[in-house]
Amino acid sequence: MKRPNLLFIVSDQQRSDTLACYGAPHVKANALNALADQSFVFENAYVTQPVCTPSRASMLTGLYPQSAGMMKNNIVLDPEIKTIAEMVDDDYHCAYYGKWHLGNETTRQHGFDEWLPLAELPWVIDHPDTPYHQFLLRNGVEPDHVTAAGHRVFSAHQRTSLPEHLTMASFLADEAARFLSEDRDEPFMLQVHFFEPHNPYTGPLDGLHDPAKIPVGPAFLKYPEGTSQFNRVRADFYMQESGPHPKMGDFGDGSPEEQWRRLRAQYYSNVTLVDRSVGRILAALEASGKADETIVVFTADHGEMAGDHALLEKRSFYEESAKVPLLMRVPWLEQRMLPGVVGQVDLVPTLLDLMNQPVPEHLEGVSRAPLLSGESEADELEENDVFVQWNGLGDRDLGAEMANLLGAVPRRSIVSSRRNAGGKAQRWKLNLCAGDQNELFDMTADPHELVNLFDQDEHRDLVRELAAKIRLWQHETGDTAALPSV
DSSP letters along 28-48, please?
Answer: --HHHHHHHHTSEEESSEE-S
Asked if 355 contacts 296 with a C-beta cutoff of 8 angstroms, the reply is: no
Q: Which residues contact 472 (CB under 8 A, 6 or more apart)?
A: none
Q: Is 455's pLDDT higher than 90?
A: yes
What's the average model confidence in pLDDT over 163-186? 97
pLDDT of 150 reads 83
pLDDT at residue 1 in the model? 66
**Predicted confidence (pLDDT) per residue in 374-399, tens digit:** 998 888 999 999 999 999 887 788 88
Does residue 197 have a cis bond before it (omega within 30 degrees)?
yes
Please report, for the chain, how many H helices and E strands are present, in that order.
13, 19
Which pLDDT does position 153 carry in this prediction?
A: 87
Which pLDDT value is given to residue 377? 84
Q: Tell me the sheet residues that pair with 442.
A: 428
Is the pLDDT at 239 greater than 80? The verdict is: yes
Instruction: State mean pLDDT over 84-91.
Output: 97
With cut-offs at 50, 70 and 90, classify the pLDDT of residue 403: very high
The more confident residue out of 225 and 123 is: 225
**Percent of the chain whose pLDDT exceeds 70:** 98
Q: Which CATH architecture has domain 5-371?
A: 3-Layer(aba) Sandwich (3.40)
Asked if 130 and 106 touch (Cβ cutoff 8 Å), the reply is yes
Q: How many CB atoms lie within 10 A of CB 7?
A: 24
CB 208 within 8 A of CB 29: no
Nearest 5 degrees, angle CA 238-CA 321-CA 463? Answer: 110
Amino acid in the structure at residue 478: G
Q: How far apart, in whole angstroms, are the C-alpha atoms of residue 325 and residue 38?
A: 14
- Kindly tell me if the per-residue pLDDT of 123 is higher than 60: no
Rounded Cα gap, residues 76 and 125, in angstroms:
13
What confidence score (pLDDT) does residue 429 get? 98
Phi/psi region, residue 221 (left: phi>0; alpha: psi -120 to 50; beta: rest), is: left
Residue 328: band (very low, low, confident or very high) from pLDDT cuts 50, 70, 90: very high
The domain segmentation of the chain, as residue ranges, is: 5-371
pLDDT confidence tier of residue 242, bands split at 50, 70 and 90: confident
**pLDDT above 70 for 124:** no
Q: Predicted confidence band at 120 (pLDDT cuts at 50, 70, 90)?
A: low
Q: What is the structure's pLDDT at 161?
A: 93
- Does the pTM exceed 0.95? yes
What is residue 105's predicted lDDT score, i.e. its pLDDT? 85
- Residue 208 scores a pLDDT above 70: yes
Helix H or strand E segment including 412? strand 411-419
Tell me the pLDDT tens digit for each residue of 277-303. Answer: 999 999 999 999 999 999 999 999 999
Q: How many angstroms separate the Cα of 163 from the Cα of each of 74, 145, 208?
A: 29, 19, 14
Please report which confidence band the pLDDT of residue 121 belongs to, taking 50, 70 and 90 as the band edges: low
Task: For Cα atoms 97, 102, 107, give the angle at the middle one, nearest 5 degrees.
Answer: 60
Farthest CA pair distance, the chain: 67
Phi, psi (rounded to 5 degrees) for 292: -75, -10
Give the C-alpha separation, 482 to 409, whole Å.
9
Using CA atoms, how far residue 321 sits from 231, 277, 298, in Å, is 12, 23, 17
- Asked whether the predicted pLDDT for residue 343 surpasses 60, the reply is yes
Averaged pLDDT, 111-116 = 96
Q: How far apart are CA 477 and CA 486, in angstroms?
A: 21
CB 6 within 8 A of CB 294: yes
Radius of gyration in angstroms for the set of CA atoms belonging to the chain, rounded to a whole number: 22
Q: What is the pLDDT of residue 309?
A: 98
CA distances from 339 to 49, 365, 410, 483 (A): 21, 18, 29, 30
Look at residue 129 and tell me whether its pLDDT is greater than 80.
Answer: no
Query: What confidence score (pLDDT) does residue 30 get?
Result: 98
Per the prediction, the chain carries an average pLDDT of 94
DSSP 386: E
Distance CA 296, CA 5 (A): 9
Distance (Å) of CA 245 to CA 129, 242, 357: 33, 8, 49
Residue 122 predicted with pLDDT over 60 = no
Of 41-50, 87-96, 416-425, 433-442, minimum mean pLDDT range: 416-425
Burial of 137 (0-12, 13-18, 19+ CB in 10 A): middle
